[in-house]
Structure 1
């Protein structure tokens, strides 16, 4: 914990007026107010502290990692909920054991930091929350899974990016994440920001550059996932600026629930040859961009709802859903794009957490028998 404590002191020095001249740390309450930082632009950008870099003598190149990641699964609606347990059952180590046993090669752990971070400088993350995130990451790494850790819903930043206090708070979050996890396995991957809807392309380009510089300050070879803006369809990935074209540890990312009226709302059918060609075109375009730019690609969210959770009477046909998922998997393999099934413990799930059993989707996603 010494490095985390040292970073706390460093952040306090950066925000000396907030911590007080005595150097005492601002108290982080157990339940941080669900508010964004005050609407002010009086703060100056955070200076990235000078620290010793962690040198990995056997780093994983992004192209190697993506080739090995195959099909993965999201631990959705868990740490990305306002508080764990509110949207889905809280995480258990057994889930990660079962993910590995089923044949998944990676897991994405979405995390929404907002409710667990102070709203005043130096924007300290609750120590109990950081411990919990680390515990779940360690469970996954112990299963020898690739692990994607991100900043997920963070609407306070996305909806008011011009506020310098918001930028500083987000920078402080990533400074603390990188400090806590800097010595972890190189199979731990950082994803900068999930679906920055509300941000312009120039804003997400700026934030991608900034967060990458924070990560590289400690981990020069840590794998990093970035995306474009909005809900990150393939077009936004193609249009986004590459944060560093010479960085061999960068992975570009998009999401695909195409077409949403089928995959999310259950309002139309799916499965014609034209449907499959339209989906394949998305993967083709991503692959062409990847080959041109020398940057591997992931689609770290794809899936098909069992029903529209906003209109539960709209139910998707099981056979069409399975054919849709099968097509995603086939195209991801064909075009060398790692893909992560969105499992939220509810409408988009295949793993029944309460019973530790799998639905029929799992056999389509990975080549493994159903688990009892």
Structure 2
């Protein structure tokens, strides 16, 4: 992944599903849709912690490992990059000292299993660290997790992000290890009362229903945010990956299209790779029932770009 993930999409709510909401079947035809549309990358959020033993050596369930294998291989076989992360390990945010040995054991297993795969696979150490994973604590944990990966996979691209749930405003507190194969990630859902209006898991989100987006002040805010992140990346010599951005289906589609197109265009202008959240559930750019892209969102993400282009190929 020498030139970065390029244009990506998240297969959220598949290998990371918490239950109680829509889930994405990890079907190979969806990888076909992503490749044909012209994306470069599939980000695979994985809830390893729900499929690993609670006691040392914290063995990952072999059947679940095979499910992840299938997703990684489906992406690579189609000339797509793949990003595999540790997702929804909430206990790392609430009790990091107790869960650190298990977290590191997960990464030792993941890195060893995939060490022989092509460079189009990247690892992302932890999705949205926060809570008791304060910046200083997370910086120490990040270094340990990177060492766990490097023990068996010294050349793999590894993606790191700041505490504060990968918010771009938290980048200044991120301590970057001395490692030549790192990317930095941020997530972008601003303004939150627009992107999460009507989201059932956010208290009070129904009060935001009807919030639109698209005026000059809205654009200025996004531009300022992303330029700040880009400046940090230049200062630290790191490529930036907007690993998640998207607007929940509670927002009107015309505003969702404008916001998505503007965030994507600004990321492109600033040389950032990105991955839209997400493919086919409640933020989805693809309608699973119709078996077709939601055209306003597909257009916002890809426009009239040449679908044959790929940022990286095996």
TM over 0.5: yes
Alignment of 1:298-317 (within 5 A): 298-307=241-250, 316-317=251-252
Per the TM alignment, residue 320 of structure 1 is displaced from its structure 2 partner at its CA by: 1.1
Counterpart for residue 3 of structure 2: 65
Contact 1:98 1:356 in 2 (8 A): no
Counterpart for residue 180 of structure 2: 248
Q: Which runs of 5+ in 2 are unaligned?
A: 199-207, 308-314
Contact 2:189 2:246 in 1 (8 A): yes
Counterpart for residue 59 of structure 2: 124
Alignment of 1:211-222 (within 5 A): 211-222=145-156
Contact 2:24 2:281 in 1 (8 A): no
| 1:21-69 deviation digits (Å, cap 9, x = unpaired) | xxxxxxxxxxxxxxxxxxxxxxxxxxxxxxxxxxxxxxx5xxx422xx3
Counterpart for residue 294 of structure 1: 237
Per the TM alignment, residue 344 of structure 1 is displaced from its structure 2 partner at its CA by: 5.5
Distance in 2 (CA, whole Å) between partners of 1:92 and 1:264 is 27
Contact 2:112 2:153 in 1 (8 A): no
Distance in 2 (CA, whole Å) between partners of 1:89 and 1:279 is 30
Matched, 1:110 2:48: no
Counterpart for residue 265 of structure 1: 197
| 1:92-145 deviation digits (Å, cap 9, x = unpaired) | 001011101011111100000122100011110011111110111100011111
Contact 2:171 2:232 in 1 (8 A): no
1:121 aligned counterpart, secondary structure: coil
Compare relative contact order (CA 8 Å, sep 6+) and give the higher one, 1 or 2.
2
How many residues are aligned here? 293
Counterpart for residue 27 of structure 2: 92
Distance in 2 (CA, whole Å) between partners of 1:129 and 1:149 is 14
Counterpart for residue 21 of structure 1: none
| 1:320-364 deviation digits (Å, cap 9, x = unpaired) | 111101101110110000011001632200112344211021111
Distance in 1 (CA, whole Å) between partners of 2:212 and 2:266 is 20
Counterpart for residue 352 of structure 1: 287
TM-score, structure 2 normalization: 0.89
| 1:268-315 deviation digits (Å, cap 9, x = unpaired) | 2211111101101111111111111111111100011121xxxxxxxx
Matched, 1:232 2:166: yes
Q: Which has the larger radius of gyration?
A: 1
Runs of at least 4 residues off by over 3 Å: none
Distance in 2 (CA, whole Å) between partners of 1:116 and 1:347 is 24
